[in-house]
Structure 1
Amino acid sequence: MGDTATCVDIILAILLPPLGVFLKYGCKIEFWISLLLTILGYIPGIIYAVWVITKN
């Protein structure tokens, strides 16, 4: 698999940000940051998740 984000990854990141990040990185720091941002506010969680999934 390549390092590019698929449409499914981005859709998951929009619907449930921590799940999208978890499927790409597992239970690393990116997941916990995404979970915290989603708890504090749904929109920041989405922005962070999409950014993390699409970055190189």
Structure 2
Amino acid sequence: MCICVKCGCFSCKNESSGNGAEKKEDADFLDVMLAIFLPPVAIYKKQKRCTAKLWVNIFLTVSGYVPGSIHAAIFVTN
């Protein structure tokens, strides 16, 4: 038996039986790993377009790999 996330009941038919939360955790882990190893790609994946945050991250990554990774990791986890 699982509790519905939206309303707190035990019998919601619209929610899956817990598989959605596990897949979301896997996606978060993948996003963090992407932010560490390929920071601009993680920002682009999260934004789905070319934004100012992406250009800032590209600048930080070119200036130094660690600042770009930190920026992407903070952005992805928020």
- Superposition TM-score, scaled by structure 1 size: 0.84
> Which has the larger Rg?
2
Separation in 1, partners of 2:30, 2:53: 18
User: Could you tell me which residue of structure 2 aligns to residue 13 of structure 1?
Assistant: 35
User: Could you tell me which residue of structure 1 aligns to residue 5 of structure 2?
Assistant: none
Moved over 6 A (4+): none
Between the aligned residues of both structures, percent identity stands at 38
> RCO greater where, 1 or 2, for CA within 8 Å and sep 6 or more?
1
CA apart distance, 1:34: 0.6
Is there any run of 5+ residues in structure 1 with no aligned partner, and where?
Answer: none
CA RMSD of aligned residues (A): 1.4
CA apart distance, 1:30: 1.0
User: Could you tell me which residue of structure 1 aligns to residue 73 of structure 2?
Assistant: 50
Question: Normalized per residue, which structure has more helix?
Answer: 1
